[in-house]
Chains A and B, each alone.
Chain A
C-alpha cells in the first residue's frame, strides 16, 4: 500500500545568531538566521542540539516565538540553572555564533485562522512563547477571531514580552489579555493574584457552548490543572490542545 507521506527529511542545519534580546532576568530571545528555512506555522517548535568537544550531544525542543511572517526565526529560552542546554543558550551564546537546529516540527499545537471558534490561550511561565507566535500570526493575517490570553507569571519582572503584550491589549483588535501574578505583585497591582484556578478560568473563558479552541502551555502540573478545570466546567476535551514541558524540556 502507499505510504501516508513520502519519507521526508528533517535535516540538522546551522543557524547564525543575529541578535540576543534579554526578555527577563532568566529568559533571552535568540534571533536566528537558519541556512535553509522553509517557513513555519504558529505554535511549532524546533529541536536544538549542542555538541561538546568530546562528541557528547544534548538535545532539547524549543517553541518558536516569531510569527510565520516575521523576518527572522526567534526562540525564547528560559535559563534553568541546573539545565544542560539552557545555561549555554542564555549566558554563553553570542551574536555571530552558530546554533545547530532542525525544524519546524509539530502539527498538533499549531493555530491558523481557518480553525473556527474563539481562541483561548492559557500560559504558565515560559509557556507564553508559542502564543507570541500565534498572536503575531493572528495580527499579520488580519484575523478577526476573538482571542483571550491568560498568562500566569511569578512576578511582574518575570512577565516575558510585557511591552508587546501591553501593546496588543491596548490595540483593541479583539485580543484580551489577563495577567495573574503568583508570588509577588506591586502594591497598586489591580490584575489577578495567585494561580490560575476554576474561578479565574470561568471568568476569562467563553461559555462551553461557544466551542472555544483552547491551547494550554506550561509546566506539566500547570497544564494538568488548567485542562482538568476546563473539562470539569463542561468544555470539550477534543478542543483543548496542550503542550507540557518538564525539567528536561523547553
Chain B
C-alpha cells in the first residue's frame, strides 16, 4: 500500500512533544540514515501509524492512540539535538 510522509502525523507528534516536530532530525537505528521526520514514510492503515525509514524501510516509530491519548515508541529513531529529550513520560510506549 501507499505510504504518506511524516507530515501526516504532525498533529499527533505535536500532541506528544508539545512542539512542531516534522523538521526534527533523527537517525534510523537500523541503517544509520539521518533525516527529518517529514521525510519518513508513514503507513496509516494499521491501528495507529507505523513509521519507516525512507532508505532501509526499517520501522523507526510506532504511534498509537490508547484511551484517547497519542502514545509513541521511537526506540529506533534517535532524535538529534535539540529534540533528543525523551517524549513526555506518559506518552512513552515500552519498546
Contacts and interface: CB of A to CB of B under 8 A. Distances in A.
Interface of A: 1-10, 45, 47, 61, 102-103, 105-109, 219-221, 241-249
B27 interface: no
Contacts of A106: 7, 10, 20, 22, 38
A244 B11 contact: no
Interface of B is mostly: loop
10 smallest beta-carbon distances between A and B, as pairs: A7-B18, A108-B38, A5-B19, A4-B82, A220-B2, A47-B11, A108-B22, A246-B2, A105-B10, A10-B14
A108 B23 contact: yes
B85 interface: yes
A143 B88 CA distance: 40
Contact of A105 (B2, B14, B81, B82): B14
6 contacts: A1-B85, A10-B14, A106-B10, A109-B7, A247-B1, A247-B2
B15 A10 contact: yes
B7 A243 contact: yes
Contacts of B11: 10, 47, 61, 102-103, 105
Contacts of B8: 61, 245, 249
B14 A246 contact: no
A45 B12 CA distance: 13
Interface of B: 1-8, 10-11, 14-15, 17-20, 22-24, 36, 38, 44-45, 81-83, 85, 88
A107 B38 CA distance: 9
A221 B22 contact: no
A78 to B, nearest CB: 15
Nearest to B85: A3
Contacts of B22: 106-108
